[in-house]
Amino acid sequence: MKSETVDDAVLETWTVDEVADAFDRDEIVLIDVRTPQEYMFEHIEGTLLMPMSFFRADKLPGQSDKRIVFHCGSGVRSERVARAAIAVGMDRIAHMGGGMAAWKEANKPHISTNMATGAPQRVGGNG
């Protein structure tokens, strides 16, 4: 995990493995900031969708129980929204470095579209 101090908060960049482990243990809320079209094509099962184009940091849920971790396609958009969340006073914010591309490269489980049928299918992981 890489961290950077921003004002009075810490912005963390988590690795795919750190995100996957914390998500499996229900320690984080994982928010996908890609477009609805990107999400429909492929996404990590159980993530929430909050597209960057509609993002309102002031409407994020509180963090009393779980840390919020953002992700996108490559890590660029998720870092931008993480900084926006810090700007409205949140201090426990992280994003996943490398985004969905790194998740897939690490063969982590996700839902993808079967190009032959158009149906969703589980891919990656151990199953």
pLDDT for res 56: 85
Q: Quick check: is 79 in a domain? A: yes
Q: Quick check: is 21 in a domain? A: yes
- Indicate the pTM of the whole model: 0.90
pLDDT for res 125: 84
pLDDT for res 126: 66
Amino acid making up residue 27: E
Q: Quick check: is 53 in a domain? A: yes
Q: Quick check: is 107 in a domain? A: yes
Question: Under a CB-based contact definition with an 8 Å cutoff, are residues 58 and 41 in contact?
Answer: no
β-bridge partners, 30: 69
Q: Helix or strand or coil: residue 25? A: coil
pLDDT for res 18: 98
pLDDT for res 63: 65
pLDDT by residue (tens digit) across 85-109? 999 888 888 999 999 999 999 999 9
Domain count, the chain: 1
Domain range spanning residue 94?
A: 2-112
CATH number for the domain spanning 24: value is: 3.40.250.10
Sheet holding 110-113, edge to edge: 42-43, 110-113, 120-123
Q: Quick check: is 58 in a domain? A: yes
Q: Quick check: is 122 in a domain? A: no
pLDDT for res 91: 81
Q: Quick check: is 78 in a domain? A: yes
pLDDT by residue (tens digit) across 30-86? 999 999 999 999 999 999 999 999 988 888 877 677 889 999 999 999 999 999 999
